[in-house]
Amino acid sequence: MSYDRIIHVAVGVVINRQQEILISQRHIDSHQGSLWEFPGGKKESQESIEAALQREFVEELGIKPIEFFPFAKILHHYAEKTVLLDVWLITQYRGEEIGREGQVIEWCPITDLRPKNFPIANQAIIKKLQTPRKLAITPNIDKSESIRSLFDRYAEMGIQLVQFQQTHLCENDYLSWFDNAQSIAKNHGLRLLYNQSLRGYKDEWNVGFHANSHVLDLLTERPISDQLLFSASCRNLKELQHAEKLAADFVTLSPICPNAKSWKEQVLGWEKFRDLASQVSLPVYALGGLSENDSDIALESGAFGIAGTFAFTC
């Protein structure tokens, strides 16, 4: 199928501070009628995708997006057509939402989104949206027995996603610690990301994989199943674009603020973060010198969430 026959669709995911998503229900007589969807519509031939997004939201919902950031690009083949969903995260808009085409609309908590109630092409969006907004990165600890107390603190703080990073360990020791960490994580309801050499990763673990910038540079294809989370560490546009090409589920971008590992002249700051994050269709976590108090400014700057080694250990 030639690319010009693909239907290019602008899709908007509107999220509020209560972590609710604005969804609408398709008319019963439309394609895949009665299913819920993320609002949007087909891009016209001479129209930019940003203009299409704004036009569709005005026409469908009576609101105009004013702060929005690329989130994902999803190509899906139905039996009767192929669509490219160009998905944007909308953090601010003007106007009051209403179903201008007679469609039902509602605000739905992210955790309540059910893939079976949406078209198949939308289900990859739900997977990304339901990735937790806080990503804890484990600090180096002196003994494996300390994992339990660390995970206790994460659970108390509502952390659900943990990148298990122990840079001081050799590969064999890391593998041993990771086995122990998995059993503890299950008891705490935590999802772990493996962060070491890919050759030590075991498919039977059924856990996500995080590539540091060195590992990312060596990858030529997505290293694990689409059903699991694959993330990467990025510091510049080249790395962001490479992660996007590899179909990463999300990335971290750092450093945002000065910390013990970065000099002042090395930090990105929020303006540069916004610029870089806006150039790729990926959920981007802000990392480096942040705390939970930075969640609002991170969201306003186009971040999907915040990540940190020490932000979630106090």
pLDDT digits (tens, 9 = 90+) for 163-191: 999 999 999 999 999 999 999 999 999 99
Closest C-alpha among 207, 204, 246, 245 to residue 223: 246
Q: Do residues 154 and 187 lie in contact, with contact meaning Cβ atoms separated by under 8 Å? A: no
In a domain, 59, yes or no: yes
Q: Would you say residue 262 has pLDDT above 60?
A: no
* 103 and 63 both lie in a single domain: yes
Q: Which residues partner with 82 through β-bridges?
A: 77
Q: Would you say residue 218 has pLDDT above 80?
A: yes
* 152 and 243 both lie in a single domain: yes
Q: Which domain holds residue 243?
A: 134-308
Residue 31, marked binder: yes
pLDDT digits (tens, 9 = 90+) for 56-108: 999 999 999 999 999 998 888 877 788 899 999 999 999 999 999 999 999 99
Alpha-helix runs per DSSP H in 201-307 = 213-218, 237-245, 269-277, 295-300
Q: What angle do CA 101, 102, 104 make, to 5 degrees?
A: 115
In a domain, 313, yes or no: no
- Using 50, 70 and 90 to split pLDDT, how confident is the model at 124? confident
Q: Which two tokens stand for residue 209?
A: 């994989």
184: left (phi over 0), alpha (psi -120 to 50) or beta: alpha
In a domain, 314, yes or no: no
Residue 37, marked binder: yes
Residue 80, marked binder: no
- Give the list of residues 6+ apart from residue 83 with CB closer than 8 angstroms, or none: 6, 7, 8, 9, 75, 76, 121
Domain boundary among 127, 153, 176: 127
CATH code, domain with 200? 3.20.20.70
CATH code, domain with 37? 3.90.79.10
- If one counts the domains in the chain, the total is 2
Domain boundary among 64, 98, 127: 127
Residue 26, marked binder: yes
Q: Would you say residue 33 has pLDDT above 90?
A: no
In a domain, 179, yes or no: yes
Residue 208, marked binder: no
Residue 60, marked binder: yes
- Using 50, 70 and 90 to split pLDDT, how confident is the model at 2? very low
Q: Do residues 283 and 304 lie in contact, with contact meaning Cβ atoms separated by under 8 Å? A: yes
